[in-house]
Amino acid sequence: MIIRKSPAELEKMRRAGLLVHAILQQVSGMAQVGVSTHDLEVVAEKMMKDAGAKPAFKGYYVPAAGSKFPFVLCTSVNDEVVHGMPSAKRVLKSGDIVSIDTGVSLEGYFGDSAVTVPVGDVSDEVKKLLRVTEESLQLAIGQMKAGNRLFDVCSAVERHVTSNGFSIVREFVGHGIGTSLHEEPQVPNYVDRRNENPRLKEGMVLAIEPMVNAGRPETKVLSDRWTAVTKDGSNAAHFEHCVAVTANGPWVLTRP
């Protein structure tokens, strides 16, 4: 069942979303040569604590991993697609890209967002990967209108990514969000005809998150049972926003 949110609930989700945005802005600016991914983690966790928010990821149990995620951030570098774990040993260098994904619970409602940022000088191919992935998210957001269907959102990502020569991760998808981090429906970044195709209605909120590979779409999970990487070692990018369907069109809750 897809849970529709009232205007008052959307305002609470907006406050959570703006906190996530502020955290991502801060740590993205820190993602420079010589900085470790653990440095980003420390700052993000303090910002959550100071705001009276609970981390959405830290302590989140995933049966496939068999454990709770131990950090407030996912920091995925280069060929790491999602769920990379911050480490003092992972020091960023010029040419890297780092996907930073985080979420919070504030007043009982969740916000969730991600961004991929370049470190130092990156290649033109990497710049294109980041640009196309972010553009695909914006195109999907544009489809978040009452009366459209879920597949309109999914296909907006798929068309833009594939037409630019990149591939879409199949194993990981976006999701509904509200009083739980993950709610119905699942939001693939491609049209999966095996899924239902519900009509979008006011009050629905989706976390749309294109995960795009420069090479082939296949991924694998490392021995830490969390970090997903591209099988062919190609770079991956990840952008995410929480978006509400309103009478006035799409409302991105995780940016000002």
Where does the pLDDT of residue 190 fall: very low under 50, low under 70, confident under 90, or very high at 90 and above? very high
What is the reported pLDDT for 143? 98
Residue ranges of the annotated binding site for substrate are 83, 182
CATH code linked to domain 7-252: 3.90.230.10
pLDDT in tens, 85-104: 999 999 999 999 999 999 99
Q: Answer for the pair 103, 78: CB distance below 8 angstroms, yes or no.
A: no
Computed on alpha carbons and rounded to an integer, the radius of gyration of the chain in Å comes to 17
Quote the mean pLDDT of the chain: 98
Task: Please report, as a single letter, which amino acid is at residue 29.
Answer: G
Domain borders along the chain are 7-252
Residue ranges of the annotated binding site for a divalent metal cation are 101, 112, 175, 209, 240
Cis status of the peptide bond prior to 185, with omega within 30 of 0: yes
Where does the pLDDT of residue 198 fall: very low under 50, low under 70, confident under 90, or very high at 90 and above? very high
Instruction: Tell me the whole-structure pTM to 2 decimals.
Output: 0.97
Where does the pLDDT of residue 35 fall: very low under 50, low under 70, confident under 90, or very high at 90 and above? very high
What is the reported pLDDT for 97? 98
